[in-house]
């Protein structure tokens, strides 16, 4: 294991036929960056900022957020000082995550309720503070902004309008930021997965959040032990949603990564690569094994696997087909 990590650390995730995908990691705090670099990731595909919001008894100020984002952006560089992409997600509170200092109403179905971007658009001052901090930090590295839990084009447009307001404010204040900063969305709902081509006209990139996409496609609560056997990302309906998102992104001319747990699942690497995923973002400890898998396969055989899998109707058949491919090639 240690040996494998050493060998692969400075290698890119490049297939036998020369196609390179991003090997990125997910983080929850600036403290995680050291582990990301040690494990050979060449980007951060998801920085979950809600821990910054949960750590205190009040909202983090613009300056406190700025400092956290700046440290991550500054430390995510290669040995030549070139910045790696750092994808920072706006506050994803609600569902299973609460804020001690913010009264969230009691809800029958919190995962279907007032959470994430919905809260931010109803309380735009929260989102604007975070946008300003992100913009300011973008002067110190390669930051990309990502919105969670999107279901509509209107949400994208409202968010973009708020981002533009923040940019105008900073310009007026003479504060530097990356004028080309990208704004992307997570694909976590069927509403975005199956309309990806349309969302691609509105935003700069996608990242598939399979943890929520699985939950919302199957109507299976991701935290409910009682039905955990039904929580299955290999369900043909979930795979169809993932494939629709990837196809839609590329038809719309933008790139798409995956930052849900499924991206770090070695068993699924070939399938996702065959679907055309542009980057895999996972826990740092999974980076080496996913790289190793990519290096062992080629696009044509992975695409053929996808075609066979998408014609199957049960998880059992799908897994058998994937395992057969993996046994031969990995």
By CB under 6 A, name the binding residues for ligand PEP: 46, 48, 92, 188, 209-212, 259-260
The answer to whether 22 contacts Mg ion (rule: CB under 5 A) is no
Residue 259 near residue 207, CB atoms below 8 Å: yes
Q: What is the DSSP string of 278-329?
A: -EEEE-GGGHHHHHHHHHT--HHHHHHHHHHHHT--SHHHHHHHHHHHHHHH
Binding partner of residue 182 among ligand PEP, Mg ion, none, CB under 5 to 8 Å per kind?
A: none
Other Cβ atoms less than 10 A from the Cβ of 64: the count is 14
User: Per the annotation, does 165 bind a ligand?
Assistant: no
Looking at 43, 209, 264, 274, which residue binds Mg ion (CB under 5 A)?
209
The secondary element (H helix, E strand) that includes residue 143 is strand 142-147
Residue (134 or 208) nearer to ligand PEP, CB: 208
Residue 269 interacting entry, from ligand PEP, Mg ion, none, C-beta within 5 to 8 Å by type: none
Closest CA to 88 of 133, 154, 35: 133
For the bound state, the minimum distance from the C-beta of residue 30 to Mg ion, rounded and expressed in Å, comes to 21
**Judged by CB under 5 A, does residue 202 bind Mg ion?**
no
Rank residues 23 and 46 by Cβ distance to ligand PEP and give the closer one: 46
Comparison of 80 and 109: residue with beta carbon closer to Mg ion: 109
Of residues 16 and 118, the one with the C-beta less far from Mg ion: 118
The reply to whether 120 belongs to the active site is: no
The reply to whether 212 sits near Mg ion by the rule CB under 5 A is yes
57/106 Cα distance (integer angstroms) = 20
Q: How far apart are CA 161 and CA 114, in angstroms?
A: 21
> Which residue's CB is nearer to ligand PEP, number 121 or number 295?
121
Sole window of 66-74, 117-125, 176-184, 209-217 interacting with Mg ion (rule: CB under 5 A): 209-217
In angstroms, what is the minimal distance from the CB of 194 to Mg ion? 18
Longest dimension (CA), the chain: 60
CB of 69 to ligand PEP, least distance (A): 17
Is 211 marked within a binding site? Answer: yes
Residue closer to ligand PEP by CB (options 46, 68) is: 46
Helices vs. strands in the chain: H and E counts, helices first: 15, 9
Catalytic residue among 120, 156, 166, 259: 259
CA 282, 287, 290: angle at the middle one, nearest 5? 100
How far apart CA 200 and CA 253 sit, in angstroms, is: 7
The dihedral built from the CA positions of residue 76, 77, 78 and 83, taken in this order, carries a sign that is positive
Cβ 145 to Mg ion shortest distance, Å = 16
Judged by CB under 5 A, does residue 221 bind Mg ion?
A: no
Say which entry of Mg ion, ligand PEP, none residue 14 contacts (CB below 5 to 8 A, set by partner kind): none
- Residue 171 labelled as part of a binding site: no
User: How far is the C-alpha of 157 from the C-alpha of 61, rounded, in Å?
Assistant: 25
Is there binding between residue 94 and Mg ion (CB under 5 A)? no
60 binds Mg ion (CB under 5 A): no
Q: Is 186 helix (H, G, I), strand (E, B) or coil?
A: strand
Nearest 10 degrees: Cα torsion 126, 130, 136, 138: -150
Query: Least distance (Å) from ligand PEP to the CB of residue 312?
Result: 24
Provide, rounded to whole angstroms, the least separation between the CB of residue 200 and ligand PEP.
Answer: 19
User: Is 108 known as a binding-site position?
Assistant: no
Q: Where are the alpha helices (DSSP H) in the chain?
A: 2-8, 33-38, 50-54, 62-75, 117-122, 124-137, 153-173, 190-193, 196-199, 210-218, 236-251, 269-275, 287-295, 299-310, 315-329
**Residues assigned a catalytic role:** 259
Binding residues: 48, 89, 188, 211-212, 222
Known binding-site residues for Mg(2+) equal 188, 212
User: Which residues of the chain form contacts with Mg ion (CB under 5 A)?
Assistant: 209, 212
């Amino acid at each position: 294991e240690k040996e494998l990590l050493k060998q692969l650390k400075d290698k890119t995730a490049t297939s036998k036929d020369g196609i390179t995908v991003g090997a990125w990691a997910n983080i929850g705090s600036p403290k995680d960056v050291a582990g990301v670099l040690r494990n050979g990731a060449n980007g951060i595909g998801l920085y979950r900022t809600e821990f910054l919001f949960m750590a205190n008894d009040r909202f983090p100020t613009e300056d406190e957020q700025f400092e956290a984002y700046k440290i991550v952006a500054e430390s995510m560089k290669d040995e030549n000082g070139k910045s790696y992409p750092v994808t920072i997600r706006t506050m994803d509170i609600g569902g299973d995550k609460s804020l001690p200092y913010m009264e969230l109403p009691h809800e029958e179905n919190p995962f279907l309720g007032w959470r994430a971007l919905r809260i931010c658009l109803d309380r735009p001052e929260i989102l604007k503070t975070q946008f300003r901090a992100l913009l300011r930090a973008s002067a110190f590295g390669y930051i990309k902004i990502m919105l969670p839990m999107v279901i509509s084009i209107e949400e994208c447009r409202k968010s973009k309008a708020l981002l533009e307001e923040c940019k105008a404010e900073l310009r007026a204040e003479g504060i530097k930021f990356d004028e080309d900063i990208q704004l992307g969305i997570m694909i976590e709902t069927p509403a975005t997965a199956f309309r990806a081509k349309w969302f691609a006209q509105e935003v700069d990139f996608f990242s598939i959040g399979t943890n929520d996409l699985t939950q919302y496609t199957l109507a299976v609560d991701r935290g409910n032990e009682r039905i955990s056997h039904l929580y299955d990302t290999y369900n043909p309906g979930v795979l169809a949603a993932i494939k629709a998102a990837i196809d839609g992104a590329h038809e719309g001319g933008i790139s798409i990564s995956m930052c849900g747990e499924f991206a770090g699942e070695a068993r699924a690497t070939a399938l996702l690569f065959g679907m055309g995923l542009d980057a895999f973002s996972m826990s740092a400890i999974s980076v080496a094994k996913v790289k190793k898998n990519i290096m062992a396969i080629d696009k044509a055989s992975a695409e053929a696997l996808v075609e066979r899998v998408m014609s199957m109707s049960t998880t059992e058949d799908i897994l058998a087909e994937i395992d057969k491919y993996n046994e031969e090639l990995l």
